[in-house]
Amino acid sequence: MSGIRKSKAAVLWGLNQQWKIEEIEIHPPKTGEVIVHWRAAGLCHSDEHLVTGDMVPPEEFWPLMGIESFFPIIGGHEGAGVVVEVGPGVTSVVVGDHVSASFVPSCGRCRYCSTGRQNLCDNGAKTFVGGMITDDTHRHFVNGQPVTLMAKVGTFSEYACVSEQSIIKVEKDIPLECVALVSCGVATGWGSAANRAGTQPGDTVAVVGIGGIGMNAVQGARMAGAKRIIAIDPIEFKREKAMEFGATHTFPSMADAMMSVMEMTYGQMADRVIMTPGVLHGEMMTEAMNLAGKGSTVVITAISPMTSETANINLFNLAMWNKEIKGTIFGSLNPRADIPALLDMYRAGQLKLDELITKTYKLEDINEGYEAMRDGTNLRGVIVNA
Amino acid sequence: MKSKAAILWETNKPWSVEEIELDDPKAGEVLVEMKASGMCHSDEHLMTGDLPFALPIIGGHEGAGIVRKVGEGVSWLAPGDHVVFGFIPSCGRCPSCSTGHQNLCDLGALMGGGRQITDGGSRHHARGQELGLMCLLGTFAHHTVVNEASCIKVDDDLPFDKVCLLGCGVVTGWGSAVYAAEVKPGDTVAVVGVGGIGANAIQGARLAGAKRIIAIDPIEFKREKAMEFGATHTAASMTDALALLQEVTWGTMANKVILTMGVGSGALMAEAMALASKRGRVVVTNIHPAMEMGVTMNLLDVTLMEKQVVGSLFGSGNPRADIPKLAGLYREGQLDLDGLVTRTYSLEGVNDGYEAMRAGENIRGVLVYE
């Protein structure tokens, strides 16, 4: 079939508004594009960052970015579904294939894709704005008006037209809810600990903030052989869950953790500190750096407000103790290699995915799901479309 | 003073347990009352001549004990301290020690002679002759005098009959997986030979997050033990493992292959290389006969598949960092040392212990000195 397709989608019309369920129109896929029926979408904190504005460029920048408005935008960047239509020239998938979304596209040809850093693919530059990666034109319309897709996948829609670069074929024996979680939160958290932080067997690792990312940083640290995993979160439910995912100690705050980490490591402190709070504010860095020992690595995974320009870091200590601070996107993994690899670890029973899903929601109930996230009662809520 | 030790007077003869004369420690040396010693395959290699060290020699290089006397200038050890010996000394000052490769300390060059590092002399005597020390240690004895460069201080609460294994076999196997092979979470790892080294390579691979660990050994008892240490699959031979790997990895094969056989053989390398994936890393930890010069290896396959062959001594670890680190992992329950010790023997039982090793009945036999 090829023609205009109608779909329900959760659309954000402006800052600090609720997600609104709209009927959208999707135009047929052009060269290199496919239509995916999203069957599962994770309620990730990054979509909430669109609502709060932490991840929205200030209005005065919009003309520089070549857009009239950041809104409306269809949310959702963590998802999995089934290919229902392919445009001309598509070679990596056929109709009926199960696919994972990839919130960073991977063109396979740019400098970064060509050197094992697909998480930094140059096509990621247009993550939040404009039309298709392929030709900049739009395929999605609401009330006749073009609408952008979050991370160029817009998984808070029943259907979406996406570039082949943004989807990764997966095996059909894995539940699509699990695939959805791996496509962003799991890979990001796991890779932050197991890959970017360089966790080694015997290390002491502190994970600050135990949500959908931090919980997977705990799993990654466990799989990388950490001796101690200190999970820090103010919410008791999350601390309890962290122990189930492999943490060895928990504390409600960095301040509470400080003396105990000092004691248990004989003063050497953590070898790796992974920052995965809901929102990272610059002043939190003082305590984060103090948790980190000589020669340690501090990984910044969390989103900080986009326009925030300051962080409290003692650069004397950074230099004298040979510490390093590393940013990471997607856990510094390669979507095309690592999404299937993580799913195979799930298949082998080494990676917990089912246990991450606290509750599933219908698309219509998305605001209820985010309410639960804000209340801290969900590790991960997942939207499931029939 | 007088003590007792197991001495090898000539190759292919049993260990002779007899009285020895022990001199006082000189500057930089310490007298240690031994409490336990592992029976490693490398001492067997002394007996067979695969390790051509000077004889006569007191065997044993995997030991733990209590410092009883310190020589002049030894500032960081005192009588009463518990120590594990590193089978390679670490001076802390040579280029290798200074760049995180203590396992390659320049003092290792003196190991073949078996005489004291300080003055090239011997503190151990029997039948009127000077005795060499295996790895400059000689742990098959109730007492020994060694250089401080061979001593690693450990906490007093650790059991000697377990931590003695940290001096050689455990770090060698564990480090072969963690450091030399660089096992990463999600890897498929093949361990060829499940003895005192291979069992710890399995433990290292497990802790480093391997998804699949294929343990290969002809002896059923060892394959069963391998599963207890964390193997996910076992095979009786590399031929069987080849078929198994093809199936479970969908043809991509093992990311890491670790060779920990009793004695390696150049003729077996082709089979080992065939187990490795594209960019697969093959680690040679086991001892090969010293004079062997030929191996079967398809070098076109090495180039086109970018396979890598890596040698590893002491698991490429640093004795002063890794012996305490692994002791810590043992204390936290993340490293099984108890399960490694199949049987214990008195010093007089050393030949029985090696008989059991040759028969494949022991993962590790340990000498315990009361």
Decide if A246 touches B, using CB distance below 8 A.
no
- B22 with B158, same domain: the answer is yes
ipTM for this prediction: 0.79
- B261 with B223, same domain: the answer is yes
Residue B169, both tokens: 């076999």
Q: Which CATH class is domain A5-170+353-384?
A: alpha beta
**Structure confidence at residue A165 as a pLDDT band (50, 70, 90):** very high
Alpha-carbon span A178 to A339, nearest angstrom: 11
Domain boundaries, chain A: 5-170+353-384, 190-328
| Residue A311 identity (one-letter amino acid) | A
Question: Could B185 and A202 be called an inter-chain contact, meaning their C-beta atoms sit closer than 8 Å?
Answer: no
Question: Could B332 and A348 be called an inter-chain contact, meaning their C-beta atoms sit closer than 8 Å?
Answer: no
Alpha-carbon span A117 to A10, nearest angstrom: 31
- B251 with B220, same domain: the answer is yes
Residue B324 within a domain:
no
The answer to whether A262 touches A293, Cβ cutoff 8 Å, is: no
Question: Could A225 and B332 be called an inter-chain contact, meaning their C-beta atoms sit closer than 8 Å?
Answer: no
Known catalytic residues of B?
40, 42, 45, 61, 168
The answer to whether B116 touches B147, Cβ cutoff 8 Å, is: yes
Alpha-carbon span B194 to B182, nearest angstrom: 19
Q: What is the mean pLDDT of residues A265-271?
A: 95
- B40 with B123, same domain: the answer is yes
Which one of A186, A350, A352 would you mutate to disrupt binding with B, by most B Cβ within 10 Å of its Cβ?
A350
Show the CA angle centred on residue B73, arms to residues B70 and B75, nearest 5°.
75
Residue-number span of the structural domain to which B205 is assigned: 173-312
Q: Of the candidates A329, A283, A344, which has an alpha carbon nearest to the alpha carbon of residue A117?
A: A329
- B160 with B45, same domain: the answer is yes
Pairing of strands A98-101, A167-170: antiparallel
Pick A344's closest partner by Cβ from B209, B211, B334: B211
User: What pLDDT score does A289 carry?
Assistant: 96
Cα distance from B29 to chain A (closest Cα, Å)?
A: 29
- B6 with B145, same domain: the answer is yes
Residue A210, both tokens: 């135990």
| Residue A128 identity (one-letter amino acid) | F
| Residue A153 identity (one-letter amino acid) | V
Question: Could B208 and A342 be called an inter-chain contact, meaning their C-beta atoms sit closer than 8 Å?
Answer: no
Q: Radius of gyration of chain A from Cα atoms?
A: 20
Pairing of strands B364-368, A159-163: unpaired
- B116 with B101, same domain: the answer is yes
Residue of B nearest to A344 (CA): B186
Alpha-carbon span B356 to B353, nearest angstrom: 5
- B193 with B257, same domain: the answer is yes
Alpha-carbon span B248 to B231, nearest angstrom: 14
User: What pLDDT score does A2 carry?
Assistant: 65
Other CB atoms within 10 A of residue A165 CB: 26
Number of structural domains chain B divides into: 2
**Judging by beta carbons within 10 Å of its beta carbon (0-12, 13-18, 19+), is residue B273 exposed, middle or buried?**
buried
- B292 with B349, same domain: the answer is no
Residue B326 within a domain:
no
Q: Which CATH architecture has domain A190-328?
A: 3-Layer(aba) Sandwich (3.40)
User: What pLDDT score does A1 carry?
Assistant: 52
Cα distance from B185 to chain A (closest Cα, Å)?
A: 6
Pick A345's closest partner by Cβ from B211, B326, B332: B211
Alpha-carbon span B123 to B140, nearest angstrom: 15
Residue A235 has pLDDT above 90, yes or no: yes
Look at residues B312, B328, B359 and tell me which one is the last residue of a structural domain.
B312
Q: Distance between alpha carbon A73 and the CA centroid of its chain, in Å?
A: 17
Question: Could A201 and B184 be called an inter-chain contact, meaning their C-beta atoms sit closer than 8 Å?
Answer: no
Please give the mean pLDDT across all residues of chain A.
94
Alpha-carbon span A155 to A382, nearest angstrom: 11
The answer to whether B3 touches B17, Cβ cutoff 8 Å, is: no
pTM listed for this prediction? 0.86
Pick A224's closest partner by Cβ from B209, B326, B329: B209
Q: How many CB pairs under 8 A join A and B?
A: 44
**CATH number assigned to the domain comprising residue B263:** 3.40.50.720
CA distances for A351 relative to A129, A220, A230, B249, angstroms: 34, 9, 19, 18
Q: What is the mean pLDDT of residues A281-286?
A: 95
Which one of A173, A227, A347 would you mutate to disrupt binding with B, by most B Cβ within 10 Å of its Cβ?
A227
Residue B320 within a domain:
no
Residue B130 within a domain:
yes
- B123 with B194, same domain: the answer is no
- B8 with B144, same domain: the answer is yes
Residue B243 within a domain:
yes
User: What pLDDT score does B117 carry?
Assistant: 94
The answer to whether B197 touches B172, Cβ cutoff 8 Å, is: yes
pLDDT tens digit at each of 370 positions of chain B = 999 999 999 999 999 999 999 999 999 999 999 999 999 888 998 999 888 889 999 999 999 999 999 999 999 999 999 999 999 999 988 889 988 999 999 999 998 889 999 999 999 999 999 999 999 999 999 999 999 999 999 999 999 999 999 999 999 999 999 999 999 999 999 999 999 899 999 999 999 999 999 999 999 999 999 999 999 999 999 999 999 999 999 999 999 999 999 889 999 999 999 999 999 999 999 988 888 889 999 988 999 999 999 999 999 999 999 999 999 999 999 999 999 999 999 999 999 999 999 998 888 899 999 8
Question: Could B207 and A201 be called an inter-chain contact, meaning their C-beta atoms sit closer than 8 Å?
Answer: yes
